[in-house]
Structure 1
Amino acid sequence: MSEKSNVKPITEQSIREAALLLREAKLVSFPTETVYGLGADATNDVAVAKIFEAKGRPSFNPLIVHVPSIEIAKSLVKFNDTALKIAAAFWPGPLTMVLPRRDNCPISRLASAGLDTLAVRIPSTASARRLLEETERPVAAPSANPSGQISPTSAQHVAQGLGSKVALILDGGDCAVGVESTVISTTGGVITILRPGGVTDEDLAPYSQHPVQFAGEDSSITSPGMLLSHYAPDCPVRLMATDKKEGEAFVGFGPGTAEFETTNLSASADLREATARLFSLMHDLNKNQYKAIAFAPIPNSGLGVAINDRLKRAAAPRG
Structure 2
Amino acid sequence: METKIFKKEEIPEAVTLLKAGKLVAFPTETVYGLGALATNEKAVKGVYEAKGRPSDNPLIVTVSDEKMMSRFVDQVPEKAKKLIKHFWPGPLTIILFVKKDSLPTAVTGGLPTAAFRCPNDELTHELISKLGDPIVGPSANTSTKPSPTTAQHVYHDLNGKIAGIIDNGPTEIGLESTIVDLSVDQPIVLRPGEITPQEIAQVLGQEVLMNKGTTQTKGIPKAPGMKYRHYAPSAPVYIVDKEEDFQKIPQGPNIGVAALNPVLAKINSDNKFNLGDSIDEAAHNLFGALRFFDNENHIHEIYVQGFSKGNISAAYMNRLNKSAAGHHFLAK
Q: How far apart, CA to CA, are the structure 1 residues paired with 2:120 and 2:306?
A: 30
Question: What residue is the counterpart of 1:222 in the other structure?
Answer: 222
Instruction: Report how many residues are paired.
Output: 311
Question: What residue is the counterpart of 1:248 in the other structure?
Answer: 255
Q: In the TM superposition, what whole-angstrom CA distance separates every residue of 1:110-167 from its partner, at most 9, and x where no partner exists?
A: 1011110011111110110100011111101101001110111111111110111110
Q: How far apart, CA to CA, are the structure 2 residues paired with 1:68 and 1:257?
A: 42
Question: What residue is the counterpart of 1:135 in the other structure?
Answer: 131
Q: CA distance change for structure 1 residues 118 and 234 in 2, over 3 Å: closer, same or farther?
A: same
SS at match of 2:25: strand
Q: Which of residues 282, 290, 297 in structure 2 aligns to 1:282?
A: 290
Q: Is the 8 A contact 1:189 1:210 kept in 2?
A: no
SS at match of 1:312: helix
Normalising by structure 2, report the TM-score.
0.89
Offset, 1:103: 3.1
Q: CA RMSD in A?
A: 1.8
Q: How far apart, CA to CA, are the structure 1 residues paired with 2:260 and 2:46?
A: 38
Q: Which of residues 152, 163, 170 in structure 2 aligns to 1:156?
A: 152
Q: Is the 8 A contact 2:48 2:54 kept in 1?
A: yes
Q: How far apart, CA to CA, are the structure 2 residues paired with 1:245 and 1:228?
A: 29
SS at match of 1:250: strand
* 1:307 matched to 2:316: yes
Question: What residue is the counterpart of 2:24 in the other structure?
Answer: 28
Offset, 1:205: 1.9
SS at match of 1:165: coil
Q: How far apart, CA to CA, are the structure 1 residues paired with 2:46 and 2:307?
A: 37
Gaps of 5+ in 2: 328-332
What percentage of residue pairs aligned between the two structures are identical? Answer: 35
Q: Is the 8 A contact 2:258 2:289 kept in 1?
A: no
Q: How far apart, CA to CA, are the structure 2 residues paired with 1:127 and 1:218?
A: 33
Q: Is the 8 A contact 1:249 1:290 kept in 2?
A: yes
SS at match of 1:131: helix
Q: Is the 8 A contact 2:21 2:43 kept in 1?
A: yes
Offset, 1:71: 0.8
SS at match of 2:35: strand
Question: What residue is the counterpart of 2:6 in the other structure?
Answer: 8
SS at match of 1:239: strand
Question: What residue is the counterpart of 1:73 in the other structure?
Answer: 69
Gaps of 5+ in 1: none
Question: What residue is the counterpart of 1:297 in the other structure?
Answer: 306
SS at match of 2:266: coil
Offset, 1:240: 2.5
Q: How far apart, CA to CA, are the structure 1 residues paired with 2:264 and 2:49?
A: 42
SS at match of 2:262: coil
Alignment of 1:176-187 (within 5 A): 176-187=172-183
Q: How far apart, CA to CA, are the structure 2 residues paired with 1:257 and 1:46?
A: 48
Question: What residue is the counterpart of 2:330 in the other structure?
Answer: none
Question: What residue is the counterpart of 1:266 in the other structure?
Answer: 276
Q: In the TM superposition, what whole-angstrom CA distance separates every residue of 1:192-247 from its partner, at most 9, and x where no partner exists?
A: 11111121122212123432211122432100121352011111110125223133
Q: In the TM superposition, what whole-angstrom CA distance separates every residue of 1:267-310 from its partner, at most 9, and x where no partner exists?
A: 2x2x2222211112221121112111111221254111111000
**Which amino acid letter does the alignment assign opposite residue 144 of structure 1?**
A
* 1:316 matched to 2:325: yes
Q: How far apart, CA to CA, are the structure 1 residues paired with 2:23 and 2:112?
A: 25
Offset, 1:2: 3.5
SS at match of 1:183: strand
* 1:42 matched to 2:35: no
Q: How far apart, CA to CA, are the structure 1 residues paired with 2:184 and 2:146?
A: 34
Q: In the TM superposition, what whole-angstrom CA distance separates every residue of 1:81-108 from its partner, at most 9, and x where no partner exists?
A: 2111111110110110110002362x21
Alignment of 1:93-108 (within 5 A): 93-103=90-100, 105=102, 107-108=103-104
SS at match of 1:98: strand
Q: Is the 8 A contact 2:256 2:302 kept in 1?
A: yes
Q: Which of residues 35, 54, 57 in structure 1 aligns to 2:53?
A: 57
Q: Is the 8 A contact 2:2 2:163 kept in 1?
A: no
* 1:86 matched to 2:83: yes
Q: How far apart, CA to CA, are the structure 2 residues paired with 1:239 and 1:68?
A: 38
Q: In the TM superposition, what whole-angstrom CA distance separates every residue of 1:179-201 from its partner, at most 9, and x where no partner exists?
A: 11111112455221111112112
